[in-house]
């Protein structure tokens, strides 16, 4: 990954490309690279949709290699949703393809002078940018079908739907999967709106005639990758659990633990949980000729994703993830998998974050715009986002905006980003991560659920504030490092429990780059990423007051445990004190 | 005494006729532990199970009380 492609979308006479060596960013990948570029080059006080913001797309350090599960992509920018720095992580094929083509990053800069819509095509021969206004308004599915007629289905696509074109703060960037469907999204934080503000509808990455990236020490790399794969296969979660039921296996356990946010974070248990659980979903997928065991990119051995067919056996959407099933399911009182799958399909098509969208509908239901449990109303809400009606644009701006417009107090956001599928009162460790992550409420930023509920990476009492700050700090550091490697975060389940698997990962990086890193260096990398991100946010106007959960979490007790969030403000302020 | 017993995910294979998430009532001796129940239901106790007693994390040595709900999961994760 010896070059960075910079595209000035605002250049006189149309977009202008420059190829530059990584320079001061050499040796960085994924989130480390996106956050380094954004924190160095984007003025923190700029408007997220303005010419000074940049959209940085970076494969991880090990993407484009034979390393298992190395195909995760980082997308960074100043977030139009949070106003802070953003790294949104996506699966799909784009990361492997971009890395194989030799790019450490693509950086979209400037602001177009016209309202033309562009495609950017990258292959081994170079870069071609074309204006194509016939793509305007297309949903991701129709867009990819249209582009496939020109570029085929052996390439990777990154694209935005109408929500991105409308620059809505919940807009995502879709990445195509192994079947060339736009199902894997850089969902969080409105990255799609930033791509829309740059006038780019799609990026097409074609790695025809390009080989895998060669390691410095091929033998050692191969050997370390073998230990790596063995380690992932040996752990019961990464080896079997994720493949059998997908991430939605969590519905039942979070419900049982009383931490499943129901009816917009009113209760911790949902009556209809078994109807929408991972067990039910996997069985239904099999029955309809879908597939509950599927990888989102080539080289994934954990295979948590799947294919969801409708009742006639036709493809409807990818297997909705736990977060999606929760956001549109229990959070909105909806207990019908087909309705949830349709919402997932619509979200992917219009290009919006499923978590933000579900949380927003929960807030809208709380406001009385529809009754909890009304699946048809939920579908209609998302359709309005796609159409860009006035109500749709409000909803597409996320839960915080919707709460303000309709006068709702119980709005589950931090830094304006909606909380995912764990109530921080019953899973106190994840509350610390929600409150303090530079990303806003984000479960992946420090997945304390593992230790609090699942007994992975040690055991902590989910209902007690004790030890949660240390837990979240360590996880946030480790996650920032993992997000820089291109590895899927789910490798952490094996890495946290099996020191030899963690060593295999470090050995792979060392063999690939000819380095001599150890565990401390990995932690140092994680800390430096967080430091960049925190500094950006501070300059953007964030203070410790932004590292807090909404007040109702420490005021209103959550049934069934009747518990409040008990980590104190003073403790929260210690998270980044290492 | 009676407890409510519920299995999830792949564990239903060990108890014929059981359905994930559907609780059954078990009659167990007073002061029985979770281990006792695992043995009684022929669930391999060497598996790294996730045990929730009334929604709170518990251990195999936990002594159960009348009316408790014992939920058992195999090692799982997601996110
Ligand atoms: S485990 Fe799931 S999210 Fe991770 S790379 Fe595989 S399919 Fe994608």
> What is the reported pLDDT for B79?
84
Is the shortest distance between the CB of A300 and ligand 1 below 6 Å? yes
* pLDDT at A474 exceeding the cut of 90: yes
| Contact yes or no for A281/A246 (Cβ under 8 A) | yes
Atom of ligand 1 nearest to the CA of A489: 4
Residues A129, A413: Cα–Cα separation, whole Å = 38
Interchain CB contact of B10 with A (< 8 Å): yes
Contacts of A489 in chain B (CB under 8 A): 79
Q: Helix, strand, coil % (nearest 5) of chain B?
A: 15, 30, 55
Distance from CA of A6 to the nearest CA of B (A): 33
Atom of ligand 1 nearest to the CA of A304: 2
- How many helices (H) and strands (E) chain A has is answered by 24, 17
> What is the reported pLDDT for B46?
83
Atom of ligand 1 nearest to the CA of A238: 1
Residue B47 pLDDT grade (very low, low, confident, very high; cuts 50, 70, 90): confident
* pLDDT at A2 exceeding the cut of 90: no
Atom of ligand 1 nearest to the CA of A302: 1
Which residues is B27 bridged to in the sheet?
A: B2
With a cut of 0.95, is the ipTM above it? yes
Among the listed residues A323, A317, A363, A360, the one whose alpha carbon sits nearest the alpha carbon of residue A339: A317
Query: Assign residue A566 a region: left if phi > 0, alpha if psi is -120 to 50, beta otherwise?
Result: alpha
Tens of pLDDT, residues A214-259:
999 999 999 999 999 999 999 999 998 899 999 999 999 999 999 9
Residue A268 pLDDT grade (very low, low, confident, very high; cuts 50, 70, 90): very high
Distance from CA of B49 to the nearest CA of A (A): 9
**Average of pLDDT values for A327-337?**
98
> What is the reported pLDDT for A66?
95
Which single residue is written with the structure tokens 């701006």?
A: A397
Sequence spans of domains, chain A: 3-205, 247-418, 428-572
* pLDDT at A466 exceeding the cut of 80: yes
What backbone torsions phi and psi does residue A260 show, to the nearest 5 degrees?
A: -95, 105
Contacts of A236 in chain B (CB under 8 A): 48, 74-75
| Contact yes or no for A530/A437 (Cβ under 8 A) | no
Q: Which residues contact B41 (CB under 8 A, 6 or more apart)?
A: B5, B14, B15, B26
> What is the reported pLDDT for A251?
97
Contacts of B8 in chain A (CB under 8 A): 252-253, 256, 279
> What is the reported pLDDT for A520?
95
Is the shortest distance between the CB of A360 and ligand 1 below 6 Å? no
Q: Which residues contact A219 (CB under 8 A, 6 or more apart)?
A: none
Contact A444 B9 (CB under 8 A): no
* pLDDT at A1 exceeding the cut of 80: no
Residues A448, A462: Cα–Cα separation, whole Å = 9
Tens of pLDDT, residues A167-193:
999 999 999 999 999 999 999 999 999
**CATH class of the structural domain A428-572:** mainly alpha
Is the shortest distance between the CB of A296 and ligand 1 below 6 Å? yes
Ligand 1 centroid distance, CA of A295 (Å):
6
Query: Mean pLDDT in chain A?
Result: 97
**Average of pLDDT values for A250-269?**
98
Is the shortest distance between the CB of A168 and ligand 1 below 6 Å? no
DSSP string, A394-410: HHTT-HHHHHHHTT-S-
Higher local confidence (pLDDT), A578 or A355: A355
Lowest-pLDDT choice from A118-127, A318-327, A353-362, B42-51: B42-51
Can you point out the beta strands (E) in A124-172? 126-131, 156-159
Nearest CA in chain B to A559: B55
Contact A274 B73 (CB under 8 A): no
DSSP string, A470-513: HHHHHHHHHHHHHHHHT--TTHHHHHHH-HHHHHHHHHHHHHHH
> What is the reported pLDDT for A452?
97
Among the listed residues A30, A60, A67, A61, the one whose alpha carbon sits nearest the alpha carbon of residue A501: A67
Fold type of domain B2-73 = Ubiquitin-like (UB roll) (3.10.20)
Tens of pLDDT, residues A340-388:
999 999 999 999 999 999 999 999 999 999 999 999 999 999 999 999 9
Residue B48 pLDDT grade (very low, low, confident, very high; cuts 50, 70, 90): confident
Fold type of domain A247-418 = 1.10.569
Tens of pLDDT, residues A73-82:
999 999 999 9
Contact A447 B79 (CB under 8 A): yes
**pTM of the full structure:** 0.97
* pLDDT at A320 exceeding the cut of 90: yes
**Average of pLDDT values for B5-33?**
94
Tens of pLDDT, residues A523-562:
999 999 999 999 999 999 999 999 999 999 999 999 999 9
Domain A3-205, second-level architecture: 4-Layer Sandwich (3.60)
Per residue, the 3-state secondary structure of A522-560, as one string, reads HHHHHHHHHHHHHHHHHHCCCCHHHCCCCCHHHHCCECC
Sequence spans of domains, chain B: 2-73
Ligand 1 centroid distance, CA of A18 (Å):
33
* pLDDT at A409 exceeding the cut of 80: yes
Q: At what angle do helices A337-350 and A140-151 cross, to 10 degrees?
A: 60
């Amino acid at each position: 990954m010896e070059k960075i492609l910079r595209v000035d979308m605002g250049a006189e006479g149309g977009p202008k490309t420059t190829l530059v060596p990584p320079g001061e960013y050499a040796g960085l990948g994924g989130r480390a690279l996106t956050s380094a570029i954004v924190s160095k080059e984007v003025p923190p006080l700029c408007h997220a949709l303005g010419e000074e913001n940049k959209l940085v797309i970076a494969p991880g350090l090990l993407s484009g290699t034979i390393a298992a599960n190395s195909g995760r992509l980082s997308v960074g920018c100043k977030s139009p949703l949070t106003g802070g720095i953003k790294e949104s992580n996506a699966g799909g094929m784009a990361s492997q393809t971009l890395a194989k083509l030799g790019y450490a990053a693509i950086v979209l800069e400037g602001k177009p002078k016209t309202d033309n819509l562009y495609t950017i095509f990258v292959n081994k021969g170079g870069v071609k940018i074309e204006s194509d206004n016939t793509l305007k308004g297309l949903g991701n599915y129709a867009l990819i079908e249209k582009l496939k007629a020109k570029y085929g289905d052996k390439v990777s696509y990154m694209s935005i739907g109408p929500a991105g074109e409308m620059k809505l703060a919940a807009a995502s960037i879709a990445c195509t999967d192994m079947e060339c469907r736009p199902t894997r999204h850089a969902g969080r934080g409105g990255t799609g709106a930033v791509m829309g503000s740059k006038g780019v509808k799609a990026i097409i990455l074609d790695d025809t005639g390009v080989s895998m990236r060669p390691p410095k020490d091929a033998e050692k790399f191969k050997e370390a990758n073998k230990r790596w794969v063995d380690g992932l296969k040996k752990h019961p979660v990464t080896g079997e659990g994720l493949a059998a039921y997908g991430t939605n296996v969590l519905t039942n356990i979070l419900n049982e633990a009383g931490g499943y946010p129901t009816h917009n974070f009113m209760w911790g248990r949902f009556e209809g949980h078994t109807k929408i659980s991972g067990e039910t979903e996997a069985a239904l997928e099999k029955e309809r000729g879908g597939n509950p065991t599927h990888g989102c990119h080539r080289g994934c051995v954990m295979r948590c994703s799947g294919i969801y067919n409708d009742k006639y056996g036709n493809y409807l959407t990818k297997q909705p993830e736990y977060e999606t099933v929760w956001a549109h399911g229990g959070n909105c009182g909806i207990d019908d998998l087909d309705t949830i799958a349709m919402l997932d399909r619509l979200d992917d098509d219009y290009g919006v974050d499923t978590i933000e969208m579900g949380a927003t509908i929960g807030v809208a239901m709380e406001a009385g715009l529809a009754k909890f449990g009304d699946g048809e109303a939920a579908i209609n809400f998302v359709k309005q986002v796609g159409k860009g009606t006035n109500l749709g644009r409000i909803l597409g701006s996320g839960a915080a905006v919707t709460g303000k417009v309709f006068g709702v107090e119980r709005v589950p956001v931090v830094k304006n980003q909606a909380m995912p599928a764990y109530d921080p009162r019953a899973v106190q460790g994840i509350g610390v991560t929600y409150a303090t992550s530079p990303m806003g409420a984000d479960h992946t930023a420090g997945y304390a659920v593992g230790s609090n509920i699942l007994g992975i990476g040690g055991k902590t009492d989910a209902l007690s504030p004790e030890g949660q700050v240390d837990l979240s700090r360590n996880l946030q550091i480790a996650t920032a490092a993992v997000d820089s490697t291109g590895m899927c975060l789910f490798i952490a389940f094996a890495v946290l429990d099996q020191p030899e698997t963690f060593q295999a990962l470090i050995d792979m990086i060392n063999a690939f780059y000819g380095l001599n890193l150890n565990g401390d260096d990995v932690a140092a990398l994680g800390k430096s990423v967080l430091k960049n991100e925190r500094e950006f946010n501070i300059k953007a106007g964030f203070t410790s007051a932004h590292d807090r959960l909404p007040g109702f979490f420490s005021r209103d007790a959550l049934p069934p445990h009747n518990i409040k969030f008990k980590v104190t403000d003073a403790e929260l302020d210690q998270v980044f004190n290492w | 005494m009676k407890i409510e017993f519920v299995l999830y995910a792949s564990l239903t294979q060990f108890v014929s006729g059981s359905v994930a998430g559907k609780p059954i009532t078990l009659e167990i001796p007073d002061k029985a532990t979770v281990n006792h129940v695992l043995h009684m239901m022929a669930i391999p106790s060497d598996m790294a199970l996730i045990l929730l007693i009334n929604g709170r994390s518990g251990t195999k040595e936990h002594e159960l009380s009348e009316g408790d709900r014992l939920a058992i999961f195999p090692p799982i994760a997601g996110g």
